[in-house]
Chain A
Amino acid sequence: MDSIYREIILEHSKNPSNRGKLDPADFSYEDTNPLCGDEVRIDIRVKDDHVSEIMFSGQGCAISQASASLLTELVDGMSLDDVKNFSKEELLEEIGISLSPARLKCALLSLKVLKAGIYGIDRANEELEDA
């Protein structure tokens, strides 16, 4: 059976990276997925225009939490410009599974929160609106 619960999701879900909060942080944002109530918060510290520390917190389904964990690994150390250009396709490719439209929203919640934290929810929504 072609399950969405492959190793990468299960591993990040059981042993998440960068789970916690940063206080103070340079950017913080949190949002929920109204469809299923997933919650993700991301805190970022910036040094020389690069992500120097990143943590996520929240609760929800394995897809939303594993995706957040994976995302924090991917963007840790990245320049803010690169984070702005980091696309949903890149995140989905890393997750590596095909998701239904409903579960896509779970997977992309963390990216939406990250981008909203850096440059505002309106632009983040616009960029990810097809999610």
Chain B
Amino acid sequence: MIATHSAPIDTASIKADFPILNQPAPAGKQPLVFLDTAASSQKPQAVIDALVEYYRQENANIHRGVYDLSEKATAAYEDARRKVATFINARKPRECIFVRNTTEAINLVARSWGGANLSAGDLIVFTEMEHHSNIVPWQIIAQEKGARTGYVHLTPDGRLDQATFDTLLEQGPKLVAITHVSNSLGTVNPIQEMIAKAHAAGAVVLVDAAQSAPHVSIDVQALDCDFLAFSGHKMLGPMGIGVLYGKHELLQNMPPYQGGGSMIRKVTMEQTTWADLPARFEAGTPSVGDAVGLGVAIDYLNGIGLDRVWEHEHALVTTAISKLSEMPGVTLLGPGPEENRAGVVSFTVDGIHPHDVAAILDEHNIAVRAGHHCTQPLMQALGVVATTRASFYVYNTPEDVDRLIEGIEAAQQVFR
């Protein structure tokens, strides 16, 4: 997020690495413009190759296999974990648990940490801007335990109202769950300060990094978060693999999330003792090939440099905001472009439902998302039913922004 003077990224050569973006357009259509990375990113050839190579050359179940293939698969899996640990600057690879996605990571913490540490009357704090995946697991465990929930309000321009956060902290919450970047608005939250304040109030903090880890350099030690969750598929990796980071001392004292193979030390018919980290939280056969693919996605992002990824997206979203704000009938949501904001822009068009905007954009071969983006409380707070959302990544270009603008103009023509 700190401005540097590195060379801008070469989008043309990056785009060439993504087969799905280079398919011939259907007859009579322009090439695909993909503006839905916030939902899931596209995959570079290197990641696709890694999956194929893994299944062609290294596939076997990991751990305990004494034969060569199993050892290769185990090494590949643990190598991917080391890449993840370095990527977020974890102290140890064992602090990085492989899960399916961000949702599973948060559910793991709610079930395991929440199950062991929450009691009746305890307060769990989240924010009005959270994705449903960082609300619903807390509501479920709160209901089971008789715990209370409270949320940080939104300001009209789509930021967190820090005064409401301070008020909640005065009540001594047990846990604070905050998103780093809003998937609906692109707001970047001041999580470092919020984590420090939450710790001072005695709370454990979970950060939802689903929308930040793919786009900005993360340092869990500098942030001092207790847990951090993200998905591989939003950062050029395969679907089906995600990461839960947790501080060693916390994870070490948490009971298992799921029971099964790999997560045990010793099983008798009466009693089982748990395996060490990270195996304790990885019951059953993991998605080894997908973990390997995530490792290659991390290599790819490191090859570009996260600082350059961020600058590229910030430039695109700044251009998009500037052009959209000049369009009559278009209303933007979220903070202004001068703010530290991510490559996500949500908007509404007067007289046209967001789904109709998205459907007409689709007719122009432009992929955007429309709806509540799994953030219904946020939509209610901003007084909208739904928005149309465009999100940017390394493969998007200023021309993509122009196509978006033309597509919106076409929608306005249809509904004139």
Q: With the chains together, A61 CA to B359 CA distance in Å?
A: 10
C-alpha spacing A35/B355, complex, angstroms: 10
A25 contacts partner chain B, Cβ-Cβ < 8 Å: no
Q: Which of B400-415 contact A (CB under 8 A)?
A: 414-415
Report Cα–Cα, A63/B371, bound state, in Å: 15
Tell me which residues from 372 to 416 in chain B have a Cβ below 8 Å from any Cβ of chain A: 372, 385-386, 414-415
Q: CB-CB < 8 A to A106: which residues of B?
A: 355
Q: Which B residues are CB-close (under 8 A) to A10?
A: 414-415
Most buried by A among B359, B363, B370: B359
21 contacting pairs across A/B (C-beta < 8 A) = A1-B28, A3-B360, A5-B414, A10-B415, A35-B371, A36-B355, A36-B371, A36-B386, A37-B371, A37-B386, A60-B353, A60-B355, A61-B353, A62-B352, A62-B353, A62-B356, A62-B415, A63-B355, A63-B359, A103-B359, A106-B355
B contact face: mostly helix, strand, loop, or mixed: mixed
Query: Which B residue sits closest to A35, measured CB to CB?
Result: B371
Instruction: Choose from B355, B363, B370, B385 the contact partner of A3 (Cβ within 8 Å).
Output: B363
* Distance, CA A12 to CA B259, complexed state (A): 56
Q: A115 to B385: give the CA distance in the assembly, Å.
A: 26
A58 to chain B, nearest CB (A): 11
Note all chain B residues with C-beta closer than 8 A to A4: 359, 363
Residue A59 interfacial (CB < 8 Å): yes
Contact with A along B333-363 (1 / 0, CB 8 A): 0000000000000000000111110011001
Q: From residue A130, how far is it (CB to closest CB) to chain B in Å?
A: 21
**Residues of chain A whose beta carbon lies under 8 Å from any beta carbon of chain B:** 1, 3-5, 10, 13-14, 35-38, 59-63, 103, 106
Residue of B with least CB distance to A62: B356
Q: Which residues on B sit within 8 Å (CB–CB) of A37?
A: 371-372, 385-386
Q: Which residues of B contact A3 (CB under 8 A)?
A: 360, 363, 414
Q: Which residues of B contact A61 (CB under 8 A)?
A: 353-356, 359
Complex Cα gap A63–B28 (Å): 24
B29 and chain A: residue at smallest CB distance: A1
Query: Which residues of the other chain, B, contact A60 by a CB distance below 8 angstroms?
Result: 353, 355
Distance to closest chain A CB from B413 (angstroms): 10
Alpha-carbon gap, A13 to B415, bound state (A): 9
Which of A1, A35, A59, A62 meets B385, CB within 8 Å?
Answer: A59
Query: Are A1 and B363 in touch, CB under 8 angstroms?
Result: yes
A125 to chain B, nearest CB (A): 22
**A-side contacts of B355, CB under 8 Å:** 36, 38, 60-61, 63, 106
Nearest chain-B residue to A2 (Cβ)?
B363
Residue numbers in B under 8 Å from A35 (CB-CB): 371
Nearest first, the 10 closest Cβ-Cβ pairs linking A and B are A61-B355, A61-B353, A62-B356, A5-B414, A36-B355, A61-B356, A36-B371, A37-B386, A37-B385, A3-B363
In the bound complex, CA of A31 to CA of B368 (Å):
26
Residue of B nearest to A65 (CB): B353
Q: 9 extra interchain contacts, Cβ-Cβ under 8 A, other than A1-B28, A1-B363, A103-B359?
A: A4-B359, A4-B363, A10-B415, A37-B372, A60-B353, A61-B353, A61-B355, A63-B359, A106-B355
